[in-house]
């Protein structure tokens, strides 16, 4: 659209220039001397001055439009580069996830029928267990943490869905983000970003409502519920539930507020 506007301005300037060229371009004093009607010539000269002013204004508009268009093109090129970089990162992440899924499928295929049945039974029992377990008597470190944990507890039993932030379904960071929004705090979207949203703490320092990060690449997050239990949205096929922190490789905690 900007280029079209610039082209329109240029066409208008070209028409002005053509009209000026057709008027002759001889010295004004000589033209006045040769004119058979000096009054008519002076009227035309006044019109020509107005035409020149219009031409100058058109030139200014064109210069401004050219500068704006150049800036817009540069911004567009920068955004295209950012999109290309992001696309590459997403493609690499997709390949990584596909590799992990392949490894997980190989592991699952290596299990005996009895082991698969036991695993399915444990998973089904864990999903049905939405009652509050023994969480001990630890006190949250802040009202914010207490409010976040309370909000997360209202979502027990909701299904896991990758990329979901509520209210019907959640992924792990979607649940923690939702919980802290109810407490008046906006967290970043992903678990890796949320890992840097507050003060990092060790396992012995954890209080109910603190964020807890798992796995070396920090791809999983939940809320510490007390007594070595985490409240989280585990993975596809599960629901928001309590679970022992010993079931996953704990990395560190994060205290918000």
Contact 254, 205 (CB under 8 A): no
Question: Where would I find the beta strands (DSSP E) of the chain?
Answer: 199-201, 211-214, 220-226, 229-232, 241-244, 250-255
Contact 144, 257 (CB under 8 A): yes
- Please tell me the distance from the alpha carbon of residue 56 to that of residue 60, in angstroms, as a whole number: 6
Tokens for 149?
């944990």
- Of 235, 236, 229, nearest to 149 by C-alpha is 229
Q: Is 93 helix (H, G, I), strand (E, B) or coil?
A: helix
What are φ and ψ of residue 44, in 5° steps? -65, -35
Question: Would you please indicate which residues are annotated as catalytic (active-site) residues?
Answer: 172, 220, 232
Contact 135, 225 (CB under 8 A): yes
Q: For the CA atoms of 188, 190, 192, 196, what is the dihedral angle to 10 degrees?
A: 10
């Amino acid at each position: 659209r900007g280029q079209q506007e610039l082209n329109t301005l240029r066409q208008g300037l070209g028409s002005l220039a053509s009209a000026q060229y057709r008027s002759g371009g001889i010295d004004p004093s000589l033209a006045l001397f040769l004119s058979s009607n000096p009054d008519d010539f002076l009227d035309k000269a006044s019109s020509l001055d107005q035409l020149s002013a219009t031409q100058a204004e058109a030139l200014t508009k064109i210069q401004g439009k050219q500068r704006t268009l150049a800036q817009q093109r540069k911004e567009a090129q920068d955004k295209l580069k950012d999109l290309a970089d992001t696309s590459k990162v997403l493609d690499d992440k997709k390949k990584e996830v596909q590799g992990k899924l392949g490894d997980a499928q190989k592991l699952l295929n290596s299990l005996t029928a009895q082991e698969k049945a036991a695993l399915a039974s444990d998973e089904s029992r864990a999903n049905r267990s939405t009652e509050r377990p023994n969480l001990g008597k630890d006190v949250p470190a802040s009202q914010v943490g207490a409010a976040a944990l309370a909000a997360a507890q209202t979502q027990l039993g909701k299904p896991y869905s990758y990329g979901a932030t509520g209210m019907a379904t959640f992924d792990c960071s979607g649940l923690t983000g939702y919980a802290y929004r109810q407490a008046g705090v906006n967290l970043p979207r992903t678990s890796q970003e949320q890992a840097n949203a507050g003060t990092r703490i060790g396992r012995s320092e954890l209080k109910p409502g603190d964020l807890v990060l798992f796995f070396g690449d920090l791809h999983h997050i939940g809320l510490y519920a007390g007594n070595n239990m985490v409240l989280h949205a585990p993975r596809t096929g599960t629901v928001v539930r309590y679970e022992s922190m010993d079931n996953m490789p704990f990395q560190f905690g994060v205290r918000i507020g």
